[in-house]
Amino acid sequence: MTVVFSGIQPSGETHIGNYLGAIRHWAVDQHEHTSYYCVVDLHSLTTPHDPAELRSKSLAMATMLVACGLDPDVCTIFVQSHVAEHTRLAWLLECTASIGELQRMTQFKDKSARTSGEFISAGLLTYPTLMTADIVLYDTDRVPVGEDQRQHIELARDVAIRFNSRYGETFVVPQGAIPKTGARVMDLQEPTNKMSKSVDSPQGTVMVLDPPDVIERKLSRAVTDSDGEVRFDVAAKPGVSNLLSILAASTGESVEALAGRYTQYGPLKKDTAAALIEALRPARERY
Ligand code: ATP
Ligand code: LTN
């Protein structure tokens, strides 16, 4: 039996990157595998936070997961800090990872650069070892995540393999499961940046709970380019490629097939908004 584990931080509102890149795949996996989905509140302690607010956001995130289709009768939904073994194992794994490999993590480099001049916690550096503990505690085979977590999964594998070779076969070595479309949804206003909970870009971020008219407005104002051609080319046309990816992830069609159907940005934006509104409707209504 394949074991699935994934986690989401309760800091900030759930956006379409979280939904299209991760959560909606969890809802499918729960019916096929033994699945654990974790609200990783301890991970949110790495950056400034208000404790009481974090507690209520953890409950809101669990509510969101259920609204998005996770069924507590089918999978296990829980809060990381309620299971003490996560932090107990994290120490053993911290002593198995090197500072060098942790310093190479792009998320650490990005987040510490963003907070430069301010307090940078040691937890921001060691965070991937806690994530490794989350995963290997459950003998996890498969970790469904967005593209931004690829490097952390690689590290988890390296640390599990190192631990096994030092101390004997202990952990299952996990594999990442990153979807073909929707694995890297970009900010609508800054399409070279990942859409993110912790970056303040209200017009560039579409929330799962945004009402339809707000989604239409955000999509209609999405940054594109001036050459007027609809084509999937992430490097040359990040804005248009992002719209095509969102449309593809919302409809199940391929970006190439969709690109051939449009000659103008206006209709592409309109259809992307409409498809997204439909894809999010069940979660919005259930929430
Ligand atoms: P933060 O900004 O604090 O890093 P986040 O928005 O990246 O938060 P997480 O809780 O870290 O959200 O991620 C939950 C899941 O959503 C992970 O599997 C992650 O890979 C995925 N995810 C996050 N952002 C995106 C995105 N823009 N596109 C696709 N998947 C994403
Ligand atoms: N690091 C992840 C969240 C996360 C996670 C995990 C994902 C914590 N523990 C275990 C998969 C498996 C993030 O920032 N998105």
Mutate which of 13, 18, 154, 188 for ligand 1 pocket (most atoms within 8 A of beta carbon): 18
Torsion of CA 271, 274, 280, 285, to 10 degrees: 180
Is the distance from the beta carbon of residue 40 to the nearest atom of ligand 2 less than 6 Å?
yes
Which tens digit of pLDDT belongs to each residue from 207-240? 999 999 999 999 999 999 999 999 999 999 999 9
**CB of 137 shorter than 6 A to ligand 2:** no
Q: What is the pLDDT along the chain (287 residues), one digit of tens a residue?
A: 999 999 999 988 999 999 999 999 999 999 999 999 999 999 999 988 999 999 999 999 999 999 999 999 999 999 999 999 999 999 999 999 999 999 999 999 998 888 767 899 999 999 999 999 999 999 999 999 999 999 999 999 999 999 999 999 999 999 999 999 999 999 999 999 999 988 889 999 999 999 999 999 999 999 999 999 999 999 999 999 999 999 999 999 999 999 999 999 999 999 999 999 999 999 999 99
Q: How far is CA 280 from CA 14, 63, 101, 126, 235, in A?
A: 12, 15, 38, 34, 28
Backbone φ, ψ for residue 79 (5° rounding): -100, 130
Q: What is the model's pLDDT at position 135?
A: 99
Q: What is the CATH number of domain 212-286?
A: 1.10.240.10
What is the CA(255)–ligand 2 centre distance, in A? 27
Residue nearest to atom 13 of ligand 1 (CA): 8
92 burial class (0-12, 13-18, 19+ CB within 10 angstroms)?
Answer: middle
Q: What is the pLDDT of residues 76-91, one digit of tens each?
A: 999 999 999 999 999 9
Whether 3-177 and 212-286 share one fold: the answer is: no
Question: What is the residue-averaged pLDDT of the chain?
Answer: 96
Active site residues: 111, 194, 197
Ligand 1 pocket member 195 (CB < 6 A):
yes
Instruction: Write down the pLDDT at residue 185.
Output: 98
What's residue 117's pLDDT? 77
18 lines ligand 1 (CB under 6 A): yes
- Assess if CATH 3.40.50.720 describes domain 3-177: no
Nearest to 97 by CA among 164, 162, 13: 162
Closest to 94 in 3D by CA, of 128, 120, 44 = 128
Q: What is d(CA 147, CA 161) in angstroms, rounded to the nearest whole number?
A: 22
Q: Tell me, yes or no, if the pTM score tops 0.85.
A: yes
Give the residue extent of every domain in the chain: 3-177, 212-286
pLDDT at 198: 82
pLDDT at 230: 96
* Alpha carbon distance 212, 280 (integer Å): 9
